[in-house]
Amino acid sequence: MYNNGYGASYHEQRLQQMMEQKQLRDFMRMYSNLVSRCFDDCVSDFNSNTLSDKELTCVNRCTLKNMKLNERIGQRFAEENAKLMEDQAKLGR
Amino acid sequence: MGIFSGSSSNSSGASASGGGSAAERKEEVKQQVRQELAMANAQELISNVNKHCVKMCIATPGTSLSGSDEACLSRCMDKYLASWDTVSRAYVARINQEKH
């Protein structure tokens, strides 16, 4: 352990904090994009101030679909990334 | 779960002024971060509501907001917040579903 506060572990902690904050911010941004998109696609009738059943269903489906999309993209990305790393490793030899 | 509160709104005793244990201090920091996030989130939410509702309610800008413009904007905001709420529920439900 380091005695002064600015040893390596301090920087590690700072880095970790910053990464966590960024993650939270990214999450919040994704969230508000999601609401924005689903509202755009599903809601167009402003003669009422509550969501109709149709709009409610639409928003639910929109959320689920977008979440599944994100998951699928994440999976494909991981797969392609792994392939890329493998190819690079092969070239390196 | 209020719109502007974090998802775990049951954190207790974060208002202790004395230097508590490390766990308490950590909880205080978490609370503060949550509040700051909620503020930033609120600002972005209001900005989004504004953007969408003006686009959908105000076809041709006049010199002032007519009564129907105002009514539309008000309903639009209600609907946007309701959508926010619905998305929130669907999201959490899906996450919980995956855990089990």
Q: Output the domain CATH number for residue B55.
A: 1.10.287.810
Q: What total number of domains does chain B contain?
A: 1
Per-residue pLDDT, averaged over A1-30, amounts to 80
Cα B14–Cα B17–Cα B18 angle in degrees, nearest 5: 115
Residue with tokens 């996030």: B37
Residues of B in contact with A50 (CB under 8 A): 78-79, 82
Count the helices and strands in chain A (H runs, E runs). Answer: 2, 0
- How far is the C-alpha of B67 from the C-alpha of B32, rounded, in Å? 41
B44: helix, strand or coil: helix
Q: Are residues A59 and B41, on separate chains, in Cβ contact within 8 Å?
A: no
Count the helices and strands in chain B (H runs, E runs). Answer: 2, 0
Residues contacting B88, CB < 8 A, separation 6+: B1, B3
Any A CB within 8 A of B79 CB: yes
Q: Which amino acid is at B46?
A: I
Residue B72 lies in a domain: yes
Confidence of residue A59 (pLDDT cuts 50, 70, 90): very high
Q: Are residues A51 and B82, on separate chains, in Cβ contact within 8 Å?
A: yes
Residue B1 lies in a domain: no
Q: From B14, B16, B15, select the one nearest B27 (Cα to Cα).
A: B14
User: To the nearest whole percent, how much of chain A has pLDDT over 70?
Assistant: 92
Q: Which domain holds residue B77?
A: 18-99
Residue B46 lies in a domain: yes
Of B44, B79, B94, the CB nearest to A43: B79
A51, B83 contact by CB (below 8 A): yes
Confidence of residue A68 (pLDDT cuts 50, 70, 90): very high
Of B40, B41, B52, the CB nearest to A36: B52
